[in-house]
Structures are given as C-alpha cells and as structure tokens.
Amino acid sequence: MILNEEQQMLADLAERLFADKASVDTLRAIRGGSHGGDYDNALWQAMIESGLTGILVPEAHGGMDFGLVSAGLVARETGRRLALTPFLSTAVLGATAIGRAGDAEQQQQWLGPIAEGRLIVALAVDETGKHRPERIASQAKADGNAYTISGDKTLVVDGANAGLFVVSAMHDGKPRLFAVEAADAGVNVEAVAAVDTRSMANVRFFNAKAQLLDANDNALDDVLNAGRAILAMELVGLSRAVFDRTLTYLSERKQFGLPIGAFQALQHRAAHLSVEIEISEAMAFQALAAFDADTVDAPQQILAAKARAADTARLASAEGVQMHGGMGMTDEFDIGFFMKRARAASELLGDANFCTERFARTRGY
C-alpha cells in the first residue's frame, strides 16, 4: 500500500502519539485494578485532541472524514501497543453506524459528540458466546412514533462506558438497527472481564426506548465489515510488534556462546513469520481501500483479510512465546499479553473459521 501524503502524515502522527502515550504497563495497571478505569483515558484524551476520534466523521459534523484506510493506520498502532481505548467501538463502529444509517437529525445529534470525544458508542449485536449476527432474538416494537426494544446482548465492546448503544433487533420480520440511550431506565449493563482486558459488557434491554436507524437497509453489514477490516489491521500491528520483540530477544539471548538468532532453525521460523505478516498487511490494506471505494467485492476482501490476519496473529503470538523459551510463559514478559489479545481480537466480529465460511458463501460454494 502506497500511502498518499495525507495518509503518511497521519501514520506518522499515530506512531508518535502511541509511542509517547501508550504502554503495556497501562494494560497491566488496568488488569490489576490500579488504573482507576477500564481503558486508557490519557491516551484517549490525546487521540481526541489529535482529531483521531473523528477520523470517519464528515467535516460538516466536526470530523476529518479520512476514510477507513486512515482509520486502519491508527488501528495498526493500537495493535502494536496493545492500547485499550474506545476507538473501535466509537470512532469506527459507532461513527459508521450513525453515518450510514442515521438520518440528518440523528447525524446532527450524535456525530459531533463522537468526533469531539464526548460520546462513547457501543455496538450491541451478538446474543451468544460466538459471533452470529444473524441470530437475533431481540424484538423491537412500535410505540407511537417511537420504538421499544427488549432482548439480551453479550460481549458488547465498551458497553460499560457507553452513552449510546447501536442495537440490532427484529422488527416486522426484518433485522434493523436502533439507537438506545444508555441512561434509559430499560437498559441494564453488567461489565464482564475479557481475557485481553478489553472493556466488555453484557447488556439487557427491557422496553428500552429506541430510535430506528432507517436510512440504509444494509447498515448492519456495512458496520460489521468496517469493524472486521479495522480488526484485521489491528491484528497486523500486533503481529509486527511480536515479531520485532522476538527478533530483539533472538539477538540478545545466548546459548553456547552465540545469540540464539544465529541458529538456522530459528532463522527459518522468523523468515516464515515475516512473510506471513507482509501478506496479511497487504490484504488488510486492500480490504480497507475496497471498503472506502465501495467495490462490489469489498465484503469478500474484508472477510479474507480478517481470516488471514487472525491466523497470522495466532501464529506470531505462538512463535513469539515459544522462541522466548520458558520466560515467554511468565507474566514478567509482555509477550503473553499479545497472545491473549490475538485470541480475543481474532474472535471479535468473527474468527477465522467464521470469515472463511462467509467468504465461501459469497463465492457460491
């Protein structure tokens, strides 16, 4: 992917910002309960000040409208640093949902606060332990000119901090998207612990007042595809970080008077991993660009990129832990955190098996 000047400037900005503000030590503090929150608020504030929260929001609503390729550059740094922020839930999924499905009044109401970092949005889609967005038991009922929603949603990213939920529910026999204010009396949120420390929640809606997001019948697919493409790039960033850390360890750890990186068996494994990462990054960039261009095969490219990036991240984290030897299994080394994030991010919005099966369907198999 050859970046244009604007994208290269954004990539440089994101790299500097995350290098300065993001740290695995913060993840440790959040996991241990000493941070005072379940995401990195200092990093999130820096992202707000840099305009990154409005990266997909139109300029008319205070955003930058830079497209998904640019959002992917930020996601790559998120993966490299294991950053915990509401970027995926709000700046990507939330902004895409409101921007593509909301009417003019709804966009005016919520896109500005998203760009300004005043509103955290959570996408509530899944109702089981696995990502199956088409299995919707939640029901929406018309209530005069408004709607009410009842149903349970599981593993809602940033649900514990959200001010607004974008919820999938059945209405008149069709799956639709609705917006529900978190402060509504019919919303009950239960925070849950994720294996990678990412903020999640189970959310119950009982006659919660809702607004129909009605402008686009394909909005749910658009939102999920945007999220999958961004997660693919986050997984690529994670894989690169593991690879870089492992190369450093191979050059420093010595056996028989030589750096272990001098042994051919480990060189072959590192070379193989390097190639896999390059391929995954190329596929992720292509998927992001396809989404921006709204090409016919964009959903296929996104599914392929997410599946490939998930497999590569699992390989990278496993190789990283193994090549660190026994130390790689201890909490003293950060490498184990990358393995946990690789597993969790791979599952989010569809694991490699889910994406491969959906890809096959779209190709007529």
Supply angle C-alpha 350, 7, 287, rounded to 5.
30
In this prediction, residue 205 carries a pLDDT of 98
Residue count of the chain: 365
Has residue 323 got a pLDDT over 80?
yes
Confidence at residue 13, expressed as pLDDT on a 0 to 100 scale: 97
Q: Specify the 3-state DSSP secondary structure of 189.
A: strand
| Band (253; pLDDT cuts 50, 70, 90) | confident
pLDDT at 121: 98
Total-model pTM? 0.95
Two structure tokens written together for 20: 């300065």
Q: What pLDDT was estimated at residue 256?
A: 80
What would the two tokens of residue 358 be? Answer: 């959906």
In three-state form (DSSP H/G/I as H, E/B as E, the rest C), the secondary structure along 133-188 is CCCCCCEEEEECCEEEEEEEEEEEECCCCCCEEEEEEEECCEEEEEEEECCCCCEE
The mean pLDDT of 31-57, rounded to a whole number, is 94
User: Is 180 or 364 the better-scoring residue by pLDDT?
Assistant: 180
CATH topology of domain 5-115: Butyryl-Coa Dehydrogenase, subunit A; domain 1 (1.10.540)
**Nearest one of 133, 338, 297, 309 to 230, comparing CA atoms:** 309
Residue pair 151/137 in contact by the 8 Å Cβ criterion:
yes
Residue 365: pLDDT band (50, 70, 90) is: confident
pLDDT of residue 143: 80
Dmax over CA atoms of the chain, in Å, equals 79
Q: Give the per-residue SS3 of 103-125.
A: CHHHHHHHHHHHHCCCCCEEEEC
The pLDDT, as a whole number, for residue 215 is 66
Residue 328 has pLDDT above 90, yes or no: no
* Higher per-residue confidence, 357 vs 263: 357
The two structure tokens encoding residue 24: 């695995």
* 277 burial via Cβ count (<10 Å: 0-12, 13-18, 19+): buried
The DSSP bridge pattern shows strands 139-143 and 187-192 to be unpaired
pLDDT band at 250 (very low <50, low <70, confident <90, very high): confident
Report DSSP state, residue 53: G
Whether domain 219-362 has CATH 3.40.50.300: no
Domain boundaries, the chain: 5-115, 121-213, 219-362
With bands split at pLDDT 50, 70 and 90, how would you rate the model's confidence at 251?
A: confident
- Given this model, what pLDDT does residue 259 score? 80
CA dist., res. 81 & res. 343, Å (int): 16
State residue 216's pLDDT score: 66
Task: Give the three-state DSSP class for 255.
Answer: strand
What angle separates helix 298-323 from helix 219-252, to the nearest 10 degrees?
Answer: 30
Fold type of domain 121-213: Butyryl-CoA Dehydrogenase, subunit A; domain 2 (2.40.110)
**Is the pLDDT reported for residue 41 higher than 90?**
yes
pLDDT of res. 362:
86
The secondary structure of residue 38, as a DSSP letter, is S
Q: What pLDDT score was predicted for residue 324?
A: 79
Q: Which two tokens stand for residue 100?
A: 């593509």
pLDDT at 307: 98
Q: Tell me, what amino acid is at 291?
A: F
Q: Is the pLDDT of residue 51 over 80?
A: yes
d(Cα 358, Cα 45) in Å, to the nearest integer? 37
At residue 322, the pLDDT reads 85
Using CA atoms, how far apart are residues 128 and 136, in angstroms rounded to an integer?
Answer: 10
Looking at per-residue confidence, does 86 or 320 come out higher?
86
Question: How much of the chain exceeds pLDDT 70, in percent?
Answer: 99
Find out whether 205 and 127 touch, Cβ atoms under 8 Å.
no
Q: Is 157 left (phi over 0), alpha (psi -120 to 50) or beta?
A: beta
Asked if 287 and 302 touch (Cβ cutoff 8 Å), the reply is yes
- Indicate the average pLDDT of the chain: 93
Q: pLDDT-based confidence at 218, cuts 50/70/90?
A: confident
243: its two tokens: 């690879």
Summarised one tens digit per residue, pLDDT across range 142-198 is 988 789 999 999 999 999 999 999 999 999 889 999 999 999 999 999 999 899 999
Q: For position 262, what pLDDT does the model report? A: 76
Q: Which residues contact 275 (CB under 8 A, 6 or more apart)?
A: none
The pLDDT value given to residue 133: 95
Q: Give tens-digit pLDDT for 280-297.
A: 999 999 999 999 999 999
